[in-house]
Amino acid sequence: MAVTERLPLGRVAEEVRPEVELVTLTIDGRVVQVPAGITLLEAARLAGMRIPTLCHHPALPPEGACRVCLVEVEGRSNLVPSCQFPVADGLRVRTNSPVVREARRTVVELLLARHPHDCLGCVRNGSCELQELARQVGADPDRFQGQPSSVPVDDSSPALVRDPARCILCGRCVRACSLQAVGALGYAYRGLATTVGPAFSHRLAEVSCVACGQCASVCPVGAIVERDDTARVWEALADPARYVVVQVAPAVRASLGEALGLPPGTPVTGKLVTALRRLGFRQVFDTEFTADLTIVEEANEFLHRLAEGGPLPMFTSCSAGWVKFCEHFFPSRLPQVSTCKSPQQMMGALVKTYFAEVQQVDPDSIFSVSVMPCTAKKLEAARPEMGGGGRRDVDAVLTTRELARMIREAGLDLAALPEDRFDPPLGAATGAASVFGVTGGVMEAALRTVYEWVTGSELGTLEFAALRGWEGVREATIHLDGQRVRVAVVHGLGNAARFLRALEEGAPSPAEGPGQGRPYHFVEIMACPGGCVGGGGQPYALDPEVKRARAAVLYREDSSRRLRLSHRNPTVQWLYRHWLGEVGGEKAHRLLHTTYQPREPY
């Protein structure tokens, strides 16, 4: 009678195992075959049913807490959470019965009892999963009444704002922060008094939060969001006495479109430049320019350390989240971290020195804005060492999400805008700088330069296949004129912590897995899973494919460029020759390098 449907297995199947074992079950009356080992939620998706979820996030371990995804399984007296329940042969599942629908609706109504009903005044209005869910299930927000949480808003962090009143205790942020091996957030108390936040009700700025924003990017509601700096930027833009410049990080051009309704993976570089001009920025610079500069300084630093024997391995320093993580949890490694400022801060420093000089603008009148995929960059820009003479290198950092809001507010239709180019001189970049936005990119860019400098010859292929991909730790050995240089690429702080602990443990034993006590020379660490394409300030995305689509944009940018090696960037060369002096020289050091300080792990 019933026809068994073989569902298109797609990615789900690939991820489960190459040799897919199939199970047969009935979903809403349809007999379907799906790969073993997946959940009912995934199976239902394959069958074209969209079961709503809330505590579930594909990048996080399942929790089964929120009960929004409940379905009926024949023979079970209770409804089961489909996000967590494994498929099995012969199951008869109903995802859409009256009982299921009423259960879902009631769960949402209960959550709304203590939730503020002020969507119109909430940053997540329009991008909120709870709001969407309430709409989807037809919830009556006033069916139940309750006391909202009275825990005050925490806006102590320069990067993030937590509003416990909006928290629905789904625990996604707790899981994200714990995957980041920080554990700044946790559950506390129990029952109705349960809260989520740092220990002892401390504020985020007082604990070891590294501001990576992974919590904010998984929070389904407006309970943890980036600190909104758009008002400050609007104000500066409206002030005729201010000379407002902006720089844009590589990963932003690969994702901004998503936040404004374009499909993931749409490159919007040219339109982005136009949008920024129309918003009123006097100069639109490219952080990729200082990414090239960073590579030149960092490659030079690395070769020095290699020649002088240390301290090695050298760790990259451009991920603001990683730097703070290292300060808190691995302070003994700080001498090994490259002293180069991040591209954002190099750009900031140049804007208020070099650019001010050549344009004859009073540096104090410059308001320097950056657009970043990252919340940690807000914190980085606020560090006292990032500036000079009471002046900040960068005055305001906007995340991709904030820029999207400004563009929307200004009524600009991004898709319809013409393309434009970054302003010279701080707008010229090579392909090496584009891949900065993806895990492995900095290492790849640095190696291109190092190789040429050391060997004097050109690389055959510029892509280092071993360094691309999504495994948490990847490594390669490069032969530099007879010397074997071992490098590793790590993304996600959980992987970083494991990597560093493995380094600390035991003697070198090359047979072991990555990190196991091996003598590395150069290690790239990115705080966010996937690198900046997965940054904490990027548009919200529940689909893990989105990150890959963003990365593809950056790889394409790189391969389509004529110049793909940072040290070949003519503007960079010009800058050294006419203004900065020697690579790694005194002036470069003063402007482009920084220091770190050990911090407490809590």
Q: Which residues bind ligand SF4 (CB under 6 A)?
A: 115-116, 118-119, 122, 124-125, 128, 130-131, 160, 166-173, 176-177, 180, 182, 184-185, 196, 209-215, 219-224, 319-322, 373-374, 376-377, 526-528, 531-532, 535
Q: Which of ligand FES, another protein, ligand SF4, none does residue 124 bind to, with CB < 5 to 8 Å depending on kind? A: ligand SF4
H helical segments located in 17-115: 40-46, 98-113
Residues 149, 217, 317, 338: which is the catalytic one? 338
Q: Which of ligand SF4, another protein, ligand FES, none does residue 526 bind to, with CB < 5 to 8 Å depending on kind? A: ligand SF4
Closer residue to another protein, CB minimum distance, 43 or 184: 184
**Residue 341 is among the residues annotated as catalytic for this protein:** no
Q: Which of ligand FES, ligand SF4, another protein, none does residue 158 bind to, with CB < 5 to 8 Å depending on kind? A: none
Cα radius of gyration (the chain)? 25
Position among 34, 41, 46, 66 found at the interface with another protein (CB under 8 A): 66
> Whole-number minimum distance, CB 130 to ligand FES, in Å?
12
Cα separation, 444 vs 465, in Å, equals: 9
Closer residue to ligand FES, CB minimum distance, 173 or 454: 173
- Beta-ladder partners of 236: none
Residues 297, 380, 475, 557: which is the catalytic one? 380
Position among 10, 29, 48, 86 found at the interface with another protein (CB under 8 A): 86
Cα separation, 447 vs 343, in Å, equals: 17
**Residue 301 is among the residues annotated as catalytic for this protein:** yes
Contact indicator for 498, 515 with CB cutoff of 8 Å: yes
Bridging pattern class, strands 387-388 and 391-392: antiparallel
446 φ, ψ (degrees, to nearest 5) = -65, -40
Residues 271, 341, 377, 547: which is the catalytic one? 377
**Residue 385 is among the residues annotated as catalytic for this protein:** yes
**Residue 409 is among the residues annotated as catalytic for this protein:** no
Closest alpha carbon to 340 in 111, 589, 54, 150 = 589
Quick one: how many helices (H) and strands (E) in the chain? 22, 20
> Whole-number minimum distance, CB 313 to another protein, in Å?
24
Q: Does 348 bind another protein (CB under 8 A)?
A: no
Closer residue to another protein, CB minimum distance, 173 or 435: 173
> Whole-number minimum distance, CB 318 to ligand SF4, in Å?
6
Cα separation, 515 vs 499, in Å, equals: 5
Nearest residue to ligand SF4, scored by beta-carbon proximity:
535
Contact indicator for 203, 152 with CB cutoff of 8 Å: no
**Residue 77 is among the residues annotated as catalytic for this protein:** no
In the structure encoding, which two tokens stand for residue 575, read together? 């800058």
- Beta-ladder partners of 31: 4, 26
Contact indicator for 443, 467 with CB cutoff of 8 Å: yes
Cα separation, 432 vs 459, in Å, equals: 13
Closest alpha carbon to 338 in 298, 290, 309 = 298
Q: Rounded to whole angstroms, what are the CA distances from 139 to 70, 94, 143?
A: 16, 21, 8
For residue 220, the 8-state DSSP code is S
Q: Which of ligand SF4, ligand FES, another protein, none does residue 53 bind to, with CB < 5 to 8 Å depending on kind? A: ligand FES
Q: Does 64 bind another protein (CB under 8 A)?
A: yes
x/- map, 133-172, another protein, by CB under 8 A: -----------xxx---xx----------------xx-x-
**Residue 215 is among the residues annotated as catalytic for this protein:** no
Q: Which residues of 98-114 are buried (b: 16+ CB within 10 A; e: fewer)?
A: eebeebbbbbbbebbeb
Closer residue to another protein, CB minimum distance, 68 or 445: 68
Q: Which of ligand SF4, ligand FES, another protein, none does residue 111 bind to, with CB < 5 to 8 Å depending on kind? A: another protein
Residues 63, 72, 288, 301: which is the catalytic one? 301
Q: Does the N-terminal peptide bond of residue 81 adopt cis geometry, omega within 30 degrees of 0?
A: no
In the block, tokens 């002892």 appear at 200
Give the three-class secondary structure for 368.
strand
- Interacting positions 37-76 with ligand FES (CB under 6 A): 53-56, 64-69
376 φ, ψ (degrees, to nearest 5) = -65, -25
Closer residue to ligand FES, CB minimum distance, 67 or 328: 67
**Residue 566 is among the residues annotated as catalytic for this protein:** no
Closest alpha carbon to 307 in 586, 584, 592, 598 = 584
CA angle 410, 320, 186 (to 5 degrees): 90
Q: Which of ligand FES, ligand SF4, another protein, none does residue 213 bind to, with CB < 5 to 8 Å depending on kind? A: ligand SF4
Alpha carbon 324 to its chain centroid, in Å, reads 15
For 297-313, the DSSP string reads HHHHHHHHHHHHT-S-S
Residues 14, 102, 235, 385: which is the catalytic one? 385
**Residue 378 is among the residues annotated as catalytic for this protein:** no
Cα separation, 21 vs 23, in Å, equals: 7
- Interacting positions 91-120 with another protein (CB under 8 A): 99, 102-103, 106-107, 110-111, 113-114
Position among 189, 458, 484, 513 found at the interface with another protein (CB under 8 A): 189
> Whole-number minimum distance, CB 602 to another protein, in Å?
5
Q: How many CB atoms lie within 10 A of CB 241?
A: 8
Residues 298, 402, 524, 557: which is the catalytic one? 298
Tell me the catalytic residues: 298, 301, 318, 338, 377, 380, 385, 532
Name the site residues for another protein (rule: CB under 8 A).
63-67, 70, 78-81, 84-86, 99, 102-103, 106-107, 110-111, 113-114, 144-146, 150-151, 168-169, 171, 178, 182-195, 198-201, 207, 601-602
Name the site residues for ligand FES (rule: CB under 6 A).
53-56, 64-69, 81, 83
